[in-house]
Amino acid sequence: MDRRQAHIQNSLRALGLRQSKLCLTAVLVCLFTAGCTSAQSEFRGAWITAWTSGFFTQEEIDATVAAAKKAGITALFVQVRKNGDAYYNSETEPKGSGIAPDFDPLAAIIKKAHAEGIEVHAWINTLRMWSSGTPSDPKHIAVRHPEWVNKDKDGNTRASEGLYLDPGIPQARDYVASVVEEIVRNYDVDGIHLDYIRYPGKNWGYSDLALEQYRSETNTTAKPATDDPKWLQWKRDQVTRLVAEIRKRVKAVKPKVVISASTIAWGDCPSEFSASSPFAVVCQDWKRWMEEGLLDANCPMNYKDEANPKQAAAFRNWLSGFKKWSGGKPTYVGIDVHTNTVPNTLKQIQAVRQSKLDGFVLFSFNASKKREMIVEALAKTNGLQVTAMRATRRQ
């Protein structure tokens, strides 16, 4: 018997519990889940991107849902708007690449996932609307409205991540909200998940129409400096206006649809949110969104390498920040499975459980060898949790 088993047996004796294999399993699960978090209460999500295979065909969808079911995943966040395009039937945006013209991926995955008791949240890249190159489809929003494209202080339109819409333009915000509303009206989604709901960086927001709007609202004439506090707060307010408009439209159509967002958690977590990367760099005030109830849940992208001690510490520091700034709303922590090994992914899941936050979302759950390994690991954990719950009820 190794030291860990000996410790467990001693603990069982001290508690006066039966020294059975069932009890031993229950304690093992408690050690891993930091309090026997049940599979039923813990939110287990996974992102599925539109960049690689995972939901482009019915066969891919069948495999993804089967993997999610085996792993105990409770919700799939499916990227249905990647680059100002549509992985569903849309009247306003061009069809996404990689899918057959007559195939509706969103409808198909909703049908399959719901049959297995798994939620589907429509994941939307809100403000980023193109990656590399230049869109040419006449239906694409950047082609139809080039004046809505975000600019930096020098007039450049291409950020490192591609083209963005400028949230400082009311018409651009209205358009994004209309895209979301179309999805909610036409599909039985459980949630709307907002990504790239921010500026590309501190130097952005200088499109002509946005500057006109800023000057009109603030009665100023000068071009604001990138570090002007008044300008930065105005930009934060524009992103918040977009979140609020999306929420208003979604809830008017289907009040029970959950509004969530994949938010920024770059670097280490500061003691004050005002010094954080989302607030200070990309004008994403997700603390305010949680406090004001604009989000029903937050999914911060806490992508850190567990093998790096500094990043592992930052991962846990952010967990404390998420809890402190949650506004009493659920937080589902984003974990990067690509950077981490499977054992290190499980360590981060365990850290989330120990923090008493509400669950996790894995990035990503597209078809791969890594997915197969993650599924096997989570399936074992899920089975142990169920066994432990039964064991606890029998005591």
CATH code assigned at 327: 3.20.20.80
Q: What is the pLDDT of residues 111-124, one digit of tens each?
A: 999 999 999 999 99
Q: Compare 24 and 191 and report the one with higher pLDDT.
A: 191
Q: What is the pLDDT of residues 56-108, one digit of tens each?
A: 999 999 999 999 999 999 999 999 999 999 999 999 999 999 999 999 999 99
Q: What is the pLDDT of residues 131-159, one digit of tens each?
A: 988 899 999 999 999 999 999 999 999 99
Q: What is the mean pLDDT of residues 241-251?
A: 98
Distance of CA 97 to the CA centre of its chain: 22
Q: What is the mean pLDDT of residues 323-340?
A: 97
Task: Cite the DSSP H helix spans in 187-283.
Answer: 208-218, 229-253, 277-280
6 is a domain residue? no
292 is a domain residue? yes
Torsion (CA) 362, 318, 346, 125 in degrees, nearest 10: 10
Confidence of residue 179 (pLDDT cuts 50, 70, 90): very high
**pLDDT for the residue 383:** 53
Q: What is the mean pLDDT of residues 202-213?
A: 98
1 has a pLDDT exceeding 60: no
- 324 is written with which tokens? 């402190």
DSSP letter string, 52-109: SSSSSSHHHHHHHHHHHHHHT--EEEEEEESSS-BSS--SSSPBPTTS-TT--HHHHH
Which residue shows structure tokens 């670097």? 267
**pLDDT for the residue 317:** 98
**pLDDT for the residue 384:** 54
Of 263, 167, 237, 161, the C-alpha closest to 206 is 167
**pLDDT for the residue 41:** 85
16 is a domain residue? no
* pTM of structure: 0.89
111 is a domain residue? yes
Half-sphere exposure of 220 (CA within 13 A, CB side): 12
Report the SS3 class of residue 299.
Answer: strand
Q: What whole-number percentage of the chain has pLDDT above 90? A: 85
150 is a domain residue? yes
Domain of 143 in residue numbering reads as 43-379
Backbone angles phi, psi at 299, to 5 degrees: -125, 70
Please calculate the CA angle 46-118-45 and round it to the nearest 5 degrees: 20
Q: What is the mean pLDDT of residues 16-37?
A: 41
227 is a domain residue? yes
234 DSSP 8-state letter? H
305 is a domain residue? yes
- Calpha distance 331→312 (Å, rounded): 19
Spatial contact of 88 and 104, defined as CB atoms under 8 Å apart: yes
| Number of domain units in the chain | 1
Entry field: residues in the chain: 395
122 is a domain residue? yes
Q: What is the mean pLDDT of residues 204-228?
A: 97
